[in-house]
Amino acid sequence: MGRRRVFLDVGGHVGETLVEAVQPRWRFDRIWSFEPSSRCWPELDALEDDRVEVVRAGWWTADTDLDLFDPGTLGGSISDTRVRVGDVERCRFVDASAWLGEHVTDDDEVWAKVNIEGAEVDVLAHLLDTGAVRLIDHLVVRFDVEKQPDGRAPAEAMRQRLRAAGVRYVEGRHVMFGRDQAARTVCWLEWTERDSMRDLATFWRRRAEHQARRFVYRKRRRLATGRR
């Protein structure tokens, strides 16, 4: 058996990343999607693929149950600092390091997208402390903790710690560009497998298009605000 290509969708929501990960071009042998909110499971389960397993839990530093605020929304988080909807769901979480040790090996090539709305600093610290981070070959993370009050300091401290440990990681804001999550996932996956100047040219074109869309959006927003 050759080296397995494994994809970990940590923060699966309703499958916005998963729909791209299952595409044949990426040749993943095994795919796990982690989502703690029961409100999202029906849409994840609807994606029928023998390689996919939906883990009805989130990543954390231990096996436990935690309150998830605004469950089912894109901002669903174990932190209550940015509650918008006001709903709360008691959800299951698993020890990320223990799970990795039980399900993947050094022989696997592992891609992991970590988008867990503020819990990433604690989870990454745990992966570093236990050494389990070495099992991930391609890590992309969004430091959503920066959305929280006083969140920039812990995010920057974690960046420094990852770099000091020699962890190969990228931030979503640097490599995930596109109109929706599927397109952004394509951009990242192509980045991890870039092997030609053509691949790099495609990446930089998408980055420029993304920045142009952001500029236009912000300009229109400022103009709309000014008219009020």
Q: What is the pLDDT of residues 110-169, one digit of tens each?
A: 999 999 999 999 999 999 999 999 999 999 999 999 998 899 999 999 999 999 999 999
What does the alpha-carbon distance between residue 33 and residue 10 come to, in Å, rounded to a whole number?
Answer: 6
What does the alpha-carbon distance between residue 123 and residue 59 come to, in Å, rounded to a whole number?
Answer: 7
* 166 and 207 in a common domain: no
Contact 47, 22 (CB under 8 A): yes
Residue 193, pLDDT score: 84
Contact 98, 63 (CB under 8 A): yes
* 179 and 72 in a common domain: yes
* 132 and 211 in a common domain: no
For residue 143, give the 3-state DSSP assignment.
Answer: coil
Q: Which residues pair with 54 in a beta bridge?
A: 33
* 70 and 163 in a common domain: yes
Contact 147, 155 (CB under 8 A): no
Least Cα distance to 105 among 223, 188, 6, 21 occurs for 6
What does the alpha-carbon distance between residue 216 and residue 224 come to, in Å, rounded to a whole number?
Answer: 12
Supply angle C-alpha 69, 75, 81, rounded to 5: 55
Residue 223, pLDDT score: 73
* 216 and 188 in a common domain: no
* 170 and 70 in a common domain: yes
* 119 and 55 in a common domain: yes
Structural domain boundaries, residue 132: 5-193
| CATH (domain of 180) | 3.40.50
Neighbours of 8 (CB within 10 A): 27
What does the alpha-carbon distance between residue 170 and residue 136 come to, in Å, rounded to a whole number?
Answer: 12
* 131 and 46 in a common domain: yes
* 156 and 74 in a common domain: yes
* 116 and 209 in a common domain: no
* 65 and 166 in a common domain: yes
Give how many domains the chain has, as a whole number.
2
DSSP state of 132: G
Q: Please, which pLDDT band fits residue 202 given cuts at 50, 70 and 90?
A: confident
Residue 115, pLDDT score: 95
* 186 and 165 in a common domain: yes
